[in-house]
Amino acid sequence: MSTAALKAGKGGKEGTAARSTASLRHRLAERGIDTSLLMLVPALFFAVALFIYPFSYGIGLTFQPSPEIQQQWGGGMFANYVAFFKDSFLFDSVWLTMRLALPVAIFNVLASIPVAFKLRQRFRGKKLLTTLVVLPITLGTVLTAQGLLIFAGRQGWLNRFLIQIGVIDQPVAFVNNYWGVVFSLVISGFPFAFLLISSYLSGIDPSIEAAAKVMGANWQQRFRRVILPLLAPGLATTSILTFVLAFSVFPSARLVGDAMGSTRVMSLMAFRAFGEQNDYPMASTIAIIMGLIELVVIAVILMWRSTMYKGSTGGKG
204 strand-pairing partners? 314
**Residue 18, pLDDT above cutoff 50:** no
**Over the stretch 234-270, which tens digit does the pLDDT of each residue have?**
899 999 999 999 999 998 898 899 988 889 999 999 9
Confidence band for 23, pLDDT divided at 50, 70 and 90: low
d(CA 308, CA 222): 15
User: Residue 8 — very low, low, confident or very high, per pLDDT cuts 50/70/90?
Assistant: very low
For the chain, the C-alpha Rg in angstroms (whole number) is: 29
Q: Is the pLDDT of residue 14 over 90?
A: no
CA–CA distance, 207 with 230 (Å, rounded to integer): 13
User: What is d(CA 13, CA 5) in angstroms, rounded to the nearest whole number?
Assistant: 12
Mean pLDDT, residues 292-308: 89
Q: Per-residue pLDDT for 191 more than 90? A: yes
Between residues 44 and 10, the one the model is more confident about: 44
Tell me: pLDDT of 315 over 60: no
Intra-chain end-to-end CA distance of the chain, in Å: 67
**In this structure, what are the phi and psi dihedrals at residue 63, rounded to the nearest 5 degrees?**
-100, 20
User: What does the pLDDT look like over 28-71, one tens digit per residue?
Assistant: 666 666 667 777 888 888 888 888 898 899 899 999 998 889 88
User: What mean pLDDT is predicted for residues 92-117?
Assistant: 93
Q: What percent of the chain has pLDDT over 70?
A: 85
Lowest mean pLDDT among 9-23, 58-72, 279-293, 301-315: 9-23
Q: How confident is the model at residue 25 (pLDDT cuts 50, 70, 90)?
A: low
Using one digit for the tens of pLDDT, what is the confidence trace for 119-168? 887 888 888 888 888 888 888 888 888 889 888 888 889 889 999 898 88
Please name each of the domains of the chain with its CATH number.
49-86 (no CATH), 88-306 (1.10.3720.10)
A 10 A CB-CB count for 284 gives 24
**Is the pLDDT at 292 greater than 90, yes or no?**
yes
Q: At what angle do helices 126-134 and 88-120 cross, to 10 degrees?
A: 170
Instruction: Write the CB contacts of 12 (distance below 8 Å, at least 6 apart in sequence).
Output: none
**Region 19-32 average pLDDT:** 62
